[in-house]
Each structure stands twice: as C-alpha cells, then as structure tokens.
Amino acid sequence: MVDGGRRISVALVGTRGVPARYGGFETCVEEVGTRLAAWGHDVVVYCRSGKTDDRPAEYEGMRLIHRGAMHRRSLETLSHTGLSVAHLLRHRTDAAIVFNAANAPYLPALRAACIPVATHVDGLEWRRAKWGRMGQAYYRTAESLAVRWSDALIADAQGIADYYRDEFRAETQLIAYGAPAVTPGDDLLEGVGLQAGGYHLVVARFEAENHVDLIVEGYVRSRSTKPLVVVGSAPYAEEYSRRVRSAADERVRFLGGVWDQRLLDQLYAGAASYLHGHSVGGTNPSLLRALGAGTAVIAYDVSFNREVAGAAAAYFTDASGVASAIDIADGDPALLERRRRAAARRAAEYDWDDVADRYEQLCLRLAAHELVRTARPWGRQRTGAAGRQAAEERAGRIPGRGTSGVEGRIHGAAR
C-alpha cells in the first residue's frame, strides 16, 4: 500500500466492469480497484453497457467509462475491449491491466502508445466446450500474442503459471483472488422457501465445463431429502440448459440468476454443502465465496480446485461420486461441521488486501517501466503430444488420478 509514495493512474480493461455481477474478472476488478482508489491511485474501469443500463461516472472511488458491445458470444468481449482501448489511447494512463488473453490483439496498440500493460491470462479458455474449432484456435493464438506483447502476465492459479512456463517458457506474476468474509444471516432465505442447513447448493453458469448437468444427475442418484438449489443461467447455451433441467427430479429447484448479493451470500452460508463443478478456469470466486461463508465444499477433482480448497473439501469426478458425497454429508453432521471449520481456515489464506497490494506493486513497476521486455517468446516452445499433455495436466485439464471407486472420488482430510 502506498504511504506517501507515488500515486499513479491505472486502467482496468476487458471485463464487464463494476459493480461486479458476473464472474471472477469483475470480482477482481471491484475488489482490487476499490482498494487502489482508496489508497490514492486514479483507477479507471471500462464497463460494458447495454441500452438500458445506468451509467454512473463513479463507483467506490473508481472512475467508470462505459462502452457498448456487439451482443454475440464470439464478438462481445472483443468488440467492447476494442472500443475501450480506442478511448484509452486518447486518455492515457500510467499503466493498464487487460483481463482475458482473448483481448491480446489490442496489446500492440497499447504498447505503441507507450502504456505499460499486464495481461491477466485467466484459465485455458480454449478448452471450453462452447467454442468451436475456430474459437479454440483463436484462443490458442491469443495466448501466444499475450505472451509476446504484454510487459507482464498475471496468473491466478499455480496451474496456469505452470502452463505458461511449460508451453511458452514465459514467467507470470502469480496473484490469486481473495475470499470474501461472508456475513451469516438467513432472513432472506424464507422468501425463496428455504431454511439454513436444509438444502445443497450449486452456483454456476450453465456451461459444459462447469458440470452442472453432472452435479444434478449425481444429486438425483442420491438419497438426499434436502433439495438441490441451482443458481445460474445460460445466456448462450439453451441446449445445455435443457440438458441440465432434463436431468433433474422434483427435488431440484432452479432459481435462475440471483443478483441480490445479500441473498446470494445467505444461500452460500445456509447451504448444507456447496457443490462446485468448475474445471477449466483458475482460482474461482464462487469456490472462494463458499469457503468464505464457511460452507462444506464438494468439488470437481482438478488441480485448480485442489489448489484452492485443499483438504477442506471432498472431491468427485463423476455422478456416482456426487451421489456418494451428498449421502455421506447428509448422514454425518459432525463431518459437515469439521469441513465448515476447515473451509473457514482455508478462506483466511486468501486475503483481498494482500491481493490488492500485489496488484499495486505490479502497477507501480509497470508505470516505472521496470517490466518492459526486450526478448519476447513467439509461439509455443514445447512441441509434441506428450509435452502438450504434460502442460495441460499441470494446468488442471485432467482430473486427479491414482485412486478408484468411492474412495477415489471422495477424499479430504475433514472426514
């Protein structure tokens, strides 16, 4: 934190902006940007706006610049970032953070304008099922561009840092997200027909790599009398949404998107367990929020989730594992209590103040031109199928191995 030191201007580009209502990037922008502004820096956040959105000029000390976007899945991010960068080139800041490697084609323009830039590369976006062959090829190319044209790369998980080192021989700044301290409460649960401890919860966008369908299928196989509450929506995935709903029985309740943050926090804190199926991204804010709420976690078994939750969670790889984990949790209140305590301890290791301090130090170094690179890797440095598989395994593509049966699908020290 700056204390009588240099104040700089920082642009945060490439997300939907603030207030955070969508995903990890937006959460990071709000949590980090709010703190940087409070510490005296001039923080500019580029926000994606629709025709009917309110467009405030300021939020929590951050200056907001609103730009539109083409409302097509393949062009929404790129079109918005293009308009944002065009504005930034005319209103330069001392440093910029670009979120999402997909925005890498705009990096040369920022460098030409002498705006030092770091790119938050996120997870293996090209592995997401929603992208076709051309989309996957684009994302793989964008990773190479981000490596070549960024002054620094930010990874939010060790698996992502390992992937960029193995694939590109490129070093990253490892800065994970923080875990919110969720205030307990249940006064809003009655309004949606729930009571604390009386339901299981999943919160996710309806996308194949988030395994919502697998979680619903597994829950239906369980003997649980507690409903499964599903929070999430699918703006571009109608077919997948139908698949999720067709897997449900009468015990499954779909709430759709929940934008009331107090209600969402109470849903996390009041759940008997939180089921987390994300498998592609790095450090996930939904998982961190569950830990911050002190909720017992049952997570899909990939390195990203193990890195965050560690022994505080149980893990699954298939529907049978989900069913077994739920049945075990329902039948052992003492186990749930141990997992809750373990979750709270784990959450304490993810501190947004520390995260913001790391971003501040990075931005100060960018603004001082300490990170401008002369030698830039171009293209992937690792070749061959074996090398690529090794890199992808390290980045969390392939679930954990070495165990089988129920014990292989459900494990964790808090048992």
The pLDDT of residue 389? 54
Pick from 179, 202, 176, 98: which is nearest to 142 by CA?
98
pLDDT digits over 170-208, tens only?
999 999 999 998 887 899 999 999 999 999 999 998 988
Lowest mean pLDDT among 19-33, 155-169, 310-324, 391-405: 391-405
In this structure, what token pair is assigned to residue 27?
């959460």
One-letter amino acid for residue 261 of the chain: Q
Residue 53 has pLDDT above 70, yes or no: no
pLDDT tier for residue 371 given thresholds of 50, 70 and 90:
confident
- Can you give the pLDDT at residue 55? 86
Task: Convert the pLDDT of each residue in 87-135 to its tens digit.
Answer: 999 999 999 999 999 999 999 999 999 999 999 997 666 566 666 778 7
Q: Other C-beta atoms within 10 Å of 186: how many? A: 14
Mean pLDDT throughout 157-173? 91
Reported pTM: 0.85
Q: Cα separation of 254 and 241, whole Å? A: 11
Other Cβ atoms less than 10 A from the Cβ of 407: the count is 9
Write out the H or E segment, with its range, that includes residue 245. Answer: helix 238-246
Total number of residues shown for the chain = 415
238 contact partners, CB below 8 Å, separation of at least 6:
none
DSSP 94: S
Q: How confident is the model at residue 72 (pLDDT cuts 50, 70, 90)?
A: confident
Instruction: Lowest mean pLDDT of 37-46, 124-133, 138-147, 247-256, name the range.
Output: 124-133
Q: Which two tokens stand for residue 389?
A: 């598989």
Predicted confidence at residue 399, as pLDDT, reads 46
Angle between helix 285-292 and helix 333-347 axes, rounded to 10 deg:
110
Bigger pLDDT: 138 or 230? 230
pLDDT in tens, 288-303: 999 999 999 999 999 9
Q: Which two tokens stand for residue 12?
A: 């945060």
The rounded Cα 193 to chain-centroid distance in angstroms is: 29
**pLDDT, averaged across the chain:** 87
DSSP H helices, 150-271, are: 158-168, 212-221, 238-246, 261-270
